Amino acid sequence: MNRQRLEQLREIHRAGLLDDVVPFWERHSVDREHGGFFTCLARDGSLYSTDKPVWLQGRATWLFATLYDRVAPRAEWLDLARRGCEFMNRHCFDERGKMYFLVTRDGRPLRMRRYVYSEVFATLGYAALAKVTGDADIRRRAIEVFNTFLRYTRTPGLTEPKMNPQVRPLTSLSPRMCLLNMADVMLAIDDDPRYERLIDECVTDVFRDFVRLDEGCVIEHVGPGGERVDAPEGRVMNPGHAIEVAWFMMEIGRRRGDRALVVRGAKILDLSLARGWDPQYGGLLYFLDVDGKPATQLEHDMKLWWPHSEALYATLLAYHLTGDAKYAGLYEQVHEWTFAHFPDREFGEWFGYLHRDGTVSTPLKGNIWKGPFHIPRALLYCWKLLEEMAS
Amino acid sequence: MNRQRLEQLREIHRAGLLDDVVPFWERHSVDREHGGFFTCLARDGSLYSTDKPVWLQGRATWLFATLYDRVAPRAEWLDLARRGCEFMNRHCFDERGKMYFLVTRDGRPLRMRRYVYSEVFATLGYAALAKVTGDADIRRRAIEVFNTFLRYTRTPGLTEPKMNPQVRPLTSLSPRMCLLNMADVMLAIDDDPRYERLIDECVTDVFRDFVRLDEGCVIEHVGPGGERVDAPEGRVMNPGHAIEVAWFMMEIGRRRGDRALVVRGAKILDLSLARGWDPQYGGLLYFLDVDGKPATQLEHDMKLWWPHSEALYATLLAYHLTGDAKYAGLYEQVHEWTFAHFPDREFGEWFGYLHRDGTVSTPLKGNIWKGPFHIPRALLYCWKLLEEMAS
């Protein structure tokens, strides 16, 4: 990539973030009356539901605190992050300290789920806000929620698995993927040596059990000894997840000056794109069966906003850290498809759900999973990396 | 429809059932070693999983018993139905008598779910087999499983709802739709007067709360007083469900000689097709928001095998019972799209999951929901009705 292209891309990501995506959420998602964030937004930003998904309260908190930290110390961003944090404090925990999945506009609990992914994003949100405010109470919250996540994912029997563990015991990539990122974020506010140790454990687990370099795939679920399980759930690959793992590893490698980890992360990216990129229509498939059997998820061949957002940053980071021109080519491939299909030129922000052929399946801008997170994170991280690369 | 067309359609349905669909499942789904039925079949019928979904054990049992009853008393059909029944007896109930959702090939329990839809299809299977065998033990099983369904759907708190019932209490169409059909089937083996009473209650509930003739829609979930709930789950319509309700009502009306019920059932069909038929590509949408807000299900605009199967029989039955030529036109519309897109001319049987534009999303022939049920039921019922109409 020449200097001109780097500068052009830098401006595309900066403008996408600050002139389009962030203003869209600032305009439509803030609940000035009850606090917290709406995310069930139709194409034009109008609300089709006032229910508040808890994942997105943590994610929005993370975003606004991180914009304050990395873009500019604007009072309104800090205020929005604080409002997200307060809404979580007040309404998103049950009496055991476990977080809900969905609450009403005014914070009454609608759904609790088995797992602890609300805790993942709350950890990111609290930690980002604790970092910029230095507030001891918020810092304490971050540590508590991180501990809840650890307890629920590591205490056998505490999270009821989908499949009967006596008959088909499975271990999963997701909690390890989340933990890699959470621990890396926690390091900014807590000097407890456990975080580096947890990261090491995750890296070991992920490469021993889930990343299959010989087979060229990343598997979501394996048996308790890391063995392949010959059932649909034991053959499923989620290329977007694998790409997130790839860049989390590369970021940790960069921070630690661990070149070998960067290279291993880049290898995950290679195989994720080799497996996940749709040879017919382009773009990343959502789920696939690594043995070429039929994927069982109805949405398996849809193109979603978040794997593409993650792939933008992962390819750019791989290019920057390895210097291998291959990744510049992969970045451009992802960039071209993503920017050609996802942004909504009429109402702003990005569509989230496309059919396999790239046409829009639903025009909504947000729901209980899509909110102000993957797109602005990728735009911010790419922009800042491109600044570094251009200088 | 003239006589020639009736005879042509009769042959299409007969041949589809007996020369294609039934042989496909006979060939690929029978587990001669452990009993029961495989349903996780790839395009060519090869297995991609040996796990056995419990819904499909009951459904396959129903199919083979019903073929024995209505097509020909072939010993192999009776044997297959008995094998399904025995597999359920032996492996599909937990210690409380509640049925699992998924078991392994050899019958070890993999998943229990909150709700009691396994019981719906087990009731149909046991009842159909009890009818053709007169076996008192199987009849007793049918009644027991029917009672389990009633207990779980009518005892507050016994089935944990998805949404917190203190904050958002909802009542749903699904159990009422199922009960309409189950009670009608139970009448063939049990002269308890409660079944007609239960049907009357369901008809009343469905028309009072879920079918909104003034708004031209059928809603899946309402508040406890039948009121509209302004949230995505309170605005969702599933045209396939509504079409099943329509023909269940028409069948009950036909059996009872209740012309008013036939006409009311046909009205549900009218509005289901008016709402659900895709004006752009044809075919029935899977989910929609009755207020025109974005549907939240990722698969909302996919075209699935079962709503189309149900619509074939519903339109034909409406034509036969009302004599209104409009329904002949609607039948032909459904027939044309369905037979143009779903049957797999190369490997037999039908694809299950198409994109909105009618292209195939996954080539699988079966999974934990798709098995030998909706398609052969529609083909059988249409064939037999066309015989009646042609004679």
Q: Is A157 a residue whose pLDDT tops 90?
A: no
Q: A54, A160, A164: best mutation site toward chain B, by most B Cβ within 10 Å?
A: A164
Question: Nearest 5°: CA angle at A169, between A163 and A175?
Answer: 85
- Band of residue A143 on the pLDDT scale cut at 50, 70, 90: very high
Mean pLDDT for the stretch of residues B62-84: 98
Mean pLDDT for the stretch of residues A81-107: 98
Contact present, B341 and B303 (Cβ < 8 Å)? yes
Instruction: For residue A286, give both structure tokens.
Output: 């959502």
pLDDT by residue (tens digit) across B296-351?
999 999 999 999 999 999 999 999 999 999 999 999 999 999 999 999 999 999 99
Coarse DSSP helix, strand, coil percentages of chain B, rounded to the nearest 5 percent: 55, 10, 35
Mean pLDDT for the stretch of residues A152-181: 94
Q: Which amino acid, A289?
A: D
Nearest CA in chain B to A353: B298
Q: Is B105 a residue whose pLDDT tops 90?
A: yes
pLDDT by residue (tens digit) across A96-134?
999 999 999 999 999 999 999 999 999 999 999 999 999
> Based on the number of CB atoms within 10 Å of its own CB, is B126 exposed (0-12), middle (13-18) or buried (19 or more)?
buried
A136 touches chain B (CB under 8 A): no
Q: Is B59 a residue whose pLDDT tops 90?
A: yes
B47 touches chain A (CB under 8 A): no
Contacts of A167 in chain B (CB under 8 A): 104, 108-110
Q: What is the pLDDT of residue B160?
A: 86
d(CA B302, CA B352): 10
Contact present, A120 and A99 (Cβ < 8 Å)? no
Which stretch of A155-169, A180-194, B133-147 has the lowest confidence by average pLDDT?
A: A155-169
Q: What is the pLDDT of residue A378?
A: 98
A110 touches chain B (CB under 8 A): yes
Nearest CA in chain A to B285: A361
Residue A175 neighbours by CB distance under 10 Å: 22
Contacts of A298 in chain B (CB under 8 A): 298-299, 302, 353, 361
- Please list, in sequence order, all residues whose beta carbon lies within 8 angstroms of the beta carbon of residue A121, skipping any fewer than 6 positions away: A54, A55, A56, A57, A58, A59, A62, A373
- Band of residue A182 on the pLDDT scale cut at 50, 70, 90: very high
Please indicate whether, in this complex, the C-beta atoms of A299 and B299 are within 8 angstroms of each other. yes
> Based on the number of CB atoms within 10 Å of its own CB, is A208 exposed (0-12), middle (13-18) or buried (19 or more)?
exposed
Q: Which residue has the tokens 């007969």?
A: B14
Q: What is the pLDDT of residue B87?
A: 98
Phi, then psi, of A267 in degrees rounded to 5: -65, -40
Q: Is B66 a residue whose pLDDT tops 90?
A: yes
Contacts of A300 in chain B (CB under 8 A): 361-362
pLDDT by residue (tens digit) across B235-258?
999 999 999 999 999 999 999 999
Please indicate whether, in this complex, the C-beta atoms of A108 and B293 are within 8 angstroms of each other. no
- Band of residue A156 on the pLDDT scale cut at 50, 70, 90: confident
Q: Is A218 a residue whose pLDDT tops 90?
A: yes
Mean pLDDT for the stretch of residues B14-41: 98
Contacts 24+ apart (CB under 8 A), B151-159: B152/B98, B152/B115, B152/B116, B152/B119, B153/B116, B153/B179, B159/B114, B159/B115, B159/B116
Nearest CA in chain A to B364: A294
Contacts of B109 in chain A (CB under 8 A): 164, 167
B296 touches chain A (CB under 8 A): yes
Q: What is the pLDDT of residue B157?
A: 86
Q: What is the pLDDT of residue B245?
A: 98
Mean pLDDT for the stretch of residues B36-51: 98
Of B286, B110, B52, B362, nearest to A287 (Cα)? B362
- Band of residue B374 on the pLDDT scale cut at 50, 70, 90: very high
Residue A227 neighbours by CB distance under 10 Å: 10
Q: What is the pLDDT of residue A273?
A: 98
pLDDT by residue (tens digit) across B176-220?
999 999 999 999 999 999 999 999 999 999 999 999 999 999 999
| Average pLDDT score, chain A | 97
Q: Is A50 a residue whose pLDDT tops 90?
A: yes
Q: Is B282 a residue whose pLDDT tops 90?
A: yes
d(CA B86, CA B66): 17
Written as one string, the DSSP assignment of B64-79 is: HHHHHHHT---HHHHH
A228 touches chain B (CB under 8 A): no
How much is the ipTM here? 0.96
Written as one string, the DSSP assignment of A218-279 is: E-SEE-TTS----SHHHHEE-HHHHHHHHHHHHHHHHHHT-HHHHHHHHHHHHHHHHHHB-T
Residue B99: which H helix or E strand, with range?
Answer: none
